[in-house]
Amino acid sequence: MLPSLFISHGSPMLALEPGASGPALARLAASLPRPRAVLVVSAHWESPDLLVGNAVQPETWHDFYGFPPALYAVDYPAPGAPDLADEVIAQLRQAGLDAQLDPQRPRDHGAWVPMRLMYPQTDIPVLQLSLPSRRGPAFQQQVGRALAGLRESDVLLVGSGSITHNLGELDWHAGPDRIEPWASAFRDWMVERLAGDDEAALLDYRRQAPFAARNHPSDEHLLPLYFARAAGGPTFSVAHAGFTLGALGMDIYRFD
């Protein structure tokens, strides 16, 4: 059975400068059974309510600004998965979670950047589920549990965000060996609680974790982790660990 994954997708420049994350994602994909489709909850599709993208061929959305022209030329033309979108809607509603289809939503970089590094052939359908970020971690766990059964039918469930995400304190000139202590302290606390399956502490991370608000001034980039944790099995492991730009965590976690 496929695991669920949490992927720290980093800067959009990861698409052109994959660093250590690119090979890690490629190795991870090669180690997994080939999925029939990938479902991604991205930090970059916030919405008040649950929405499921069901476009036949979602466009590649360059939902950022100020980057080199070459990045805006990158395309990721993997097909959508309208049939799977219907399955997702049905399973969410069966769990008491209302959801609607969205046939217009393009594919944001929280989805296409990591998928391009994992499945560059673009022959595996990729669809997205929105992130009702105002409903917090517990709601994301409900969503993950409602969809966990899709793993048994060869659907790879992915939460795409970042283990730390304070863009205002990044150093765009920092070398790979520089890690801010406040960022590593938060990351280490999260890993310890995930390894210990300490759900109460994880749900209360903004009060209990060191430097929580500094690492996540808003928590939309951490919430996909709660989806991935609830959608996966009980075994937690770190598939890749690291930082870039001084304080941007690039960890990849799997739940088997």
Q: pLDDT digits over 70-123, tens only?
A: 999 999 999 999 999 999 999 999 999 999 999 999 999 999 999 999 999 999
CATH number of the domain bearing residue 89:
3.40.830.10
pLDDT in tens, 44-72: 999 999 999 999 999 999 999 999 999 99
Encode burial over 35-47: b for 16+ CB neighbours within 10 A, e otherwise.
Answer: bebbbbbbbbbee
Per-residue pLDDT, 224 = 98
pLDDT in tens, 154-186: 999 999 999 999 999 998 888 778 999 999 999
Asked if 243 and 216 touch (Cβ cutoff 8 Å), the reply is no
pTM: 0.97
Where in the sequence is the domain holding 171, given as residue range(s)?
Answer: 4-255
Per-residue pLDDT, 49 = 95
Give me the number of domains the chain comprises: 1
Per-residue pLDDT, 172 = 84
The single-letter DSSP state of residue 210 is T
Report which residue type is found at 34: R
Using pLDDT thresholds of 50, 70 and 90, give the confidence band for residue 25.
very high
Average pLDDT over all residues of the chain: 97
Structure tokens belonging to residue 45: 């599709």
The single-letter DSSP state of residue 153 is G
Rounded to the nearest 5°, which phi and psi values hold at 152? -75, -15
Supply angle C-alpha 218, 169, 173, rounded to 5: 140
**High-pLDDT (> 90) share of the chain, %:** 96
